Amino acid sequence: MKTGRQRAARGSFVAAGFLVSIVTGVVLYFLPAIQVALRDTGQVNTSLGGTAQLKPVSASEHLSSTAPFTLLLLGSDSDSKFGGAYLTQSMILTRVDPATKHVTMLSIPRDLWVRLCNGGNGKIDQAFLHGGAQCAIQTVQRDLRVHIDYYAWIGLQGLVSVLNQLGGINVIANNPVMDDYYPADLSGGNPYDYQRILVLPGAQHMSGTLALEYVRARHDDAYGDFARSQRQQQILIALRAKTKHLSLADIPGLATSLGSNFQTNMSIGQVSGLLPIAGSVPLASITQVVLLPPYTSNAYVGGQDALLPNWSLIRAEVAKYFPAAS
């Protein structure tokens, strides 16, 4: 005969066994996300070449459901040509106001000639090369006089994988996007080869590869990098439709597809907290800003073509859309 205490102990043991089994099943499901979380999220990037000493950027603990926040989105060509030393072809300063469901996106031209975090002058796309996200953030903060709460960096191969994982996106291509000198660097062959690309105009479904061609092509374009920036913002807006259907259960699949092509100082909880916010923003509440002339002007500086900033105009625009309170 078993005593009541023995029965209770055995019951507890069985319950614990079930609990351990269920937790193991859940942990195994989220394992890819956990690996990414440990490796690529919650980054406190202090690596910086040269002599400059920078304070590490750390994310706010909680992604408030009401307080506005700023997010610096960074995108790099991440193929084998660069050997891990990446420029940022895309820099989009974003402000999200969850209370009013308003999003502002300001594309920072990659050729903008600025004072970098290490004290030297150069194109702003070199900031990431010199000191990673830390340097990119500090350069933007100092030059544009804006506070940045979070950053997220994605390599182009990661963008393709994520878009494919999500089943592609629907976009209205503004005009025929053609490029006879488009880099053939993601096909696994010679990364210095060219390929011809053509994206037809109008509404269409884009795979990850087609979307990348749409946002990356620039040679046959009246506005070059500016037009590319507009198209990058367009893809982000199209992605918004996808986030409406995503849940926590989708995070492992997305994490797997991103691989090593993603870094952020947000925690994985904050990243997943962004999804419902992004999905709830109406199209009419998205403000898009591109720094065309007179905000910038073409120049030949330091032996290269660059864009000179008109800081008084740019900073006024930044102060308007990215108020200090954020």
Partner 1 sequence: MKRAAILIALMFASGLAANRTLAVLQTHTNAAALISTTRPQVRLPGTIYVSQQGSIYAIAGTKVRRLALPSGGVWTQPRVLPDGSLLVIRRFDAYSDLYHVSASARVLSQMTSDDPSTTNRTLQLDHWVLWPSISPDGTEVYFATDAPKPAPNQSYEVDFSLWSAPLGGGFNIGGAGVSGGTRWSVPDIYTGGDIQPVPLPDGSVLYSSYANTGKGTVVTVLGLQTSPGSRMQALTTPQQDCGAPAVSPDGVTVAMVCTHLGQTAELEVATLSGNALGPLRVLVANCLCNSPSWSPTGDSLLYMNAADPDGNFGLWYIAGAGGLHHGAPRRVTDSSVDLDATSAAAWSSR
Q: Running DSSP on this structure, what letter comes out for residue 220? A: T
DSSP per residue, 57-117: P---SS--SSS-EEEEEEEE--SGGGTT----SEEEEEEEETTTTEEEEEEPPTTBEEE-T
Report which residue type is found at 69: F
Largest separation between any pair of C-alpha atoms in the chain: 93
Nearer to partner 1, 67 or 246 (CB): 246
Q: Does 244 bind partner 1 (CB under 8 A)?
A: yes
How near is the Cβ of 269 to partner 1 at its closest, in Å? 16
How near is the Cβ of 279 to partner 1 at its closest, in Å? 10
Q: Does 238 bind partner 1 (CB under 8 A)?
A: yes
Residue selected from 84, 119, 188, 249 as contacting partner 1 according to rule CB under 8 A: 249
Q: Does 7 bind partner 1 (CB under 8 A)?
A: no
Q: Does 22 bind partner 1 (CB under 8 A)?
A: yes
- State the Cα–Cα distance between residues 164 and 186, nearest whole angstrom: 15
Q: Does 29 bind partner 1 (CB under 8 A)?
A: yes
Burial 247-272 (b: 16+ CB within 10 A, else e): eeebbbebbebbbebbbbbbbbebbb
Q: Does 292 bind partner 1 (CB under 8 A)?
A: yes
Q: Does 9 bind partner 1 (CB under 8 A)?
A: no
Pick the piece of the chain touching partner 1 (CB under 8 A) from 94-102, 111-119, 127-135, 163-171: 163-171
Q: Does 246 bind partner 1 (CB under 8 A)?
A: yes
Which tokens belong to 179? Answer: 């490029």
Q: Does 260 bind partner 1 (CB under 8 A)?
A: no
Q: Which residues pair with 104 in a beta bridge?
A: 95, 287
User: Which parts of this chain interact with partner 1 (CB under 8 A)?
Assistant: 14, 17-18, 20-26, 28-30, 165-167, 170, 172, 174-181, 194-196, 198, 200-205, 219-223, 226-227, 234, 237-238, 241-242, 244-247, 249-250, 253, 283, 290, 292
